[in-house]
Structure 1
Amino acid sequence: MKKIVVFILLIIVASGTAFCQAQQTPKTFTLNGKVEVKETGKPIPGVSVSTNLGDYVLTNGLGEFKIKVRIGDELVVEAVDMETVRYRIKGDDDVLVQVEDYTLSRSANTKSVTQRHETLLDSAERYKDKDIEKSIDFVAQSISILGKRGQKKELARSLSKLGEIYQYHKQIDLAIDNYEDALEANKTIKTSLLLAKVYNMSSRFNESIILLDPLMALKTMVPYQRVTLYELMGDAKKGNGEVLQAIEFYKEGLLIAEKNQITPKLIDLNSKIAEAYSRENKIIEAEAYFDNSLQLAEASAPLRALQENEKVADFYNEKSRFNEEINMRKRSLQDIKKLNTPKLGISKLDQADTITSQRINYKIANAYIAQDRYNEAIPFLKKSIIEADTEDDLVVQKDATRKLSEVYKEKGDYTKALDTYQSYVALVDTLYIRKEQEISRANRINRDIANAQSRLVGLENERELSQSKYDLALTEQQLVEESYKRQQWVIYSLIFGLLLTVLAAFFFYRSNQQQKLTNNLLALKSLRSQMNPHFIFNALNSVNNFISKSDERSANRYLSEFSTLMRSVLENSEEDFIPLAKELEQLELYIKLEHSRFKDKFDYEIVVDDEVPVNNYQIPPMLLQPYIENAIWHGLRYRETKGLLYVSVKVENINSVAICITDNGIGRKKSASIKTQNQKKQKSKGMGIIQKRVAILNDMYSDKVSINISDLETDGSGTKVLFILKKE
């Protein structure tokens, strides 16, 4: 047994220890330590240091370690050919472990490092889908224990595993970066195929082809890898629009899969060949390969058969073969019922969102509607709504409710159409709240990923720096004879360290920019998905008023114009900007609707200067409507005499246009004073949403829109809203 002496080297101020002891729960702190050979002072890397609570680290190239502990914890230090040491933590002093008669064995140490590296990567894989931050930490540890020489293979495996983790969590850019770094460290077929797959996922098809092309000549690939190679090359060709070449690659992969009985790939490739033929409008060939994929899937697994069945149904839908589509989807519904039986022990399908009972019922209804078979579509829409409500699938519930309202309208049942549409509006509000929660969760996850990536970059820099110092320690005896060489090496090391720091700063900056862009896009998507519930409910109440007065013609006309406006709003809801001409058309339709309700309250006029090229300017959709609504509802509506709403569009300068909205209503201050108590309690979201949208878009597009609101008259009556819209 080798003897180990534990020394306390550094004593921090006693007040820190007294403060920790005063707490009811012991305070956690970071303990610094080092393990070295007593006789020579040489550091011992790769030593395991753990606590009785489960925290675990390994010493780096300088024999140093940092571990989180509390007063009273037991520290365990152990390694191959070393007597295990147990030490009780009494304070936050640094710990030095000196080992007597210890010989550094490079082969044994290398074997030990390789085993630990394998274990850490296994742990990273185990936590990949459960805790991304913990999974990345395991990869970071696997990198920190590696030396600089002869371990490029292990480093590449760590980077490749990191790429797989990011790919699993849809962080495609980070996955690509780490796969590329892994290939730079050590080229392997597996990593090349993984990188090609994420290239295809991000539509970088040419880069995928360039990466895969040299692999075609390799003779050492196993059959599964060869099939995957042809499949990925086919995907890249199809992505570039070279469909016939894609089919040839798929067929080459299919031959190898058939020869080696690789069943999953047989199904995938038959299905992809069918989709490619369908894209080329070769229906007979597509159906033949879809038949093959269906037969293989049914012989493989029920879930896989269900997926393939839905692919074929989608194919029938694209070709307007609705009766065949309906039969296939009804068959899918039967298969789902079988899979959900207690006998099979499956409580819920582990499938994509598109393969659920509520979605299939919704698609069947759409197929009936496409044939104007409304009575047959209604039961499937109702069933879809009920099942979506049970499964908390708000998206399907919203779409099915809206479609049901449209069906009732087509049938002339306007009462049910109105009731159903009101349910749809309520679902839109609920879905908006859900989207906000999802955005919040996505932001939190992205922050965790960014923090983990930053720690990883820091650990990698620390590992490189530690290895540099360790190399200096091992060559200490040669420094006197090679003073000049040592100085040169130190200079190069410092330059290399500086380059690493600059590179790390660049990647950190790029990650922050990507994060900011992602957050902006998510926020815009959420804000664009909102409609003004106040306007929708008022419009529906107007329809209800027309109906109650037996004015069916007015109700029908109003609902038709309202539907036209809503369709236009929804069509533009995914766009950051739309042509100014389209926004003005949409605005005029909205004012016309409001004027039909308040004919005795105001007249309106929209004047567009002939010099304004309205098709050359872009504007955020539904930007002007909330201000028009405020002018009518809070200004003109309270006038004792008939008012005027005036909208003008004029050239501001060569690169901008001015849009002015004026009304001679009662003014902002008087409008606020006559609000009811209920109105004061309700906080309007319209202006807040507009301000957020404009702020985000100006941040992304360099101050494209500016808005100024002022009183029209000196006595506070009337309101003027001025928009300045830049061309670029």
Structure 2
Amino acid sequence: MFSKGACILLILTLWANGRLRGQDSLLVNRTLDSAKALPNDSGKVNWYIARGKAMARYFDGRQEENAFFQEAITLGQRIRYPRGLANVYNEVGTAKRNRSEYILANDYHEKAIKYAEETKDDRLISISLNNAGVDNRRMDQLQKAFDYHFRALQAAERANDVRSICVAINSIGNIELSTGKYTDAIGHFTKALELEEKNNNDLGVAINLGNIGYAYQGLGKIDLAIEFYKRSLAVNQKLKNNTGMAICYNSLGNAYQEKKDYAHAMDALQKALAVNDKVEDKIHITESYLNIGKLLSEQGKHEEARRYIQQSLDLSLHWRFKSMLLEVYKALAADYKASGDFERSLEFTDRSLLYKDSILDENAAMALAQTRAIYEVDRKDIQIKALEHDKQLSELRTKRNIVYMFSTAGFLLMLAVGAFFYIRHRNLEANKHTLQLELRSLRAQMNPHFIFNSLSSIHRFIWSNSQEEASDYLTKFSKLMRMILDNTQHTFISLNKEVESLRLYLDLERLRCNGVFEYRINIADDINDDDVMLPPMIIQPYVENAIWHGLVHKSGKGMLDISITMRSGRTLICTVTDNGIGRKRALEIKAKKGETHRSMGMQVTEGRIDLIRKINNSRDTNVTITDLELEDGTPAGTQVAITLPVEHIF
């Protein structure tokens, strides 16, 4: 009977727990609602998984499905996110295994394997395979378990994932331990132990030391087994791991009992009992009472043995540990049989059989329930996939119609744009062809003009100079004529040919003018005069104009500078600078002589440059004339800058 105060405390506790559960439920709903604002992408799936892990205890305590994990699965399938699905199926499977729902756990972990393999991430594959291996070990399907762990080991080694390697090796060792292959098991446990020591994982070290102890005990090497149990115990004590210490003490007690060293066995089991009192899971303390009872029964201390076994029985009944009740009744039956009380032994044997049947029925019912759950989960997945498939088909149809519409509109637009540019290109080509014909015509006009001027100069030179000088002049003139006739066959010639013909012309004019001027031609270093192209005879008319209107009237030595530079790799600038009398004074002299016509060469060249500007659609193509003056305003010559688009051979 409970006291009044105890009743009130119980009521308050239940109320508080209910309130906390209500608060947790409200928190879950609010958190799920807050997720609606997130975009439906892989980040949201990962967010659900993280929240599901954080709230795992809440759902496990209520024996409910983790709502966050379910949302992660639904969204992961909808957006086809294999990594997220592998992670969430691993989490759900592990939660099922922790509730001993091994069939369901294995189904989820197999799904995790399928999606992990889609990611081609060996680390994720090894984790999923190890989980499936553990499920099958718990169901005693050892061959399947071995296959899973072996595949996990291969994937983990490819990924160099030490943690998964250790899990796989340790699990393979446990399978070999279960099948009596103790030597092989020791080899695997030793390898796992070395890896755990290398990575300073003390818990893994303790587990593998204990496992090696079990294998040596299986081989009958009890002293070696005890040595490894003690080493495992020392590591667990260092970690303050009560569960680990209890397992080690129980193992030591069992080993000493096998050696008939009952004193040390009892000491170890009593220590296990003391440590198990600090462990939350009461099945361990129940097991400790049972082990002590069995030890005392083996020594013939039946009354004392039954007191310990009875304590194990009371705890098992209180906590409904059916598997422990089966073992307790079997132990009581064996003890009464050893003491000669066969009637009581038969009574407890019957009870143990009842629990055995009950456990078998319960396992069968659980297996059936898990199978149904798998069916429901698969049916739900199929429905989700079917809905998503229909949705995708609808979206594809919509996209297809939109694509058709835009494709048709795009085709019509391209057709219209193509027609526009075709007509425009045709007109431009026609205009360009016309302009080129005009340019050839102007070039043809210029050549006779230049030849006429040159022959006039030779005529005057012959009458006013010696026959030898006239012959030299005529030789140079004939060479210049050959160059002109050759160059004018082409729309463009190389810069070096233009400069060569220009030098011949200047030499002729210096002879003609009795050396009243000097000239310099400078080509910028960054110009390859074999590669750069320009129209033939484009500079000569401005040079001629500088000589006959600027330099010949100058008192003193005249200087003509011709420089050729390039700007931005696209524009050629030819500058003709003289230190003659200037344009104003030249016009005055021209007016006194009564000359009114304009130079044909200048007119033709200006026409050529205008056509070049139109053909190339270049605003930069032009001729700029600058009057040079001294500081006091006295004319100091003229500068002409001819700007042309650059043409190259290649």
Task: Calculate the TM-score normalised by the size of structure 1.
Answer: 0.43
Which one has a larger percent strand, Structure 1 or Structure 2?
A: 1
Which one has a larger percent helix, Structure 1 or Structure 2?
A: 2
| Higher radius of gyration, 1 or 2 | 2
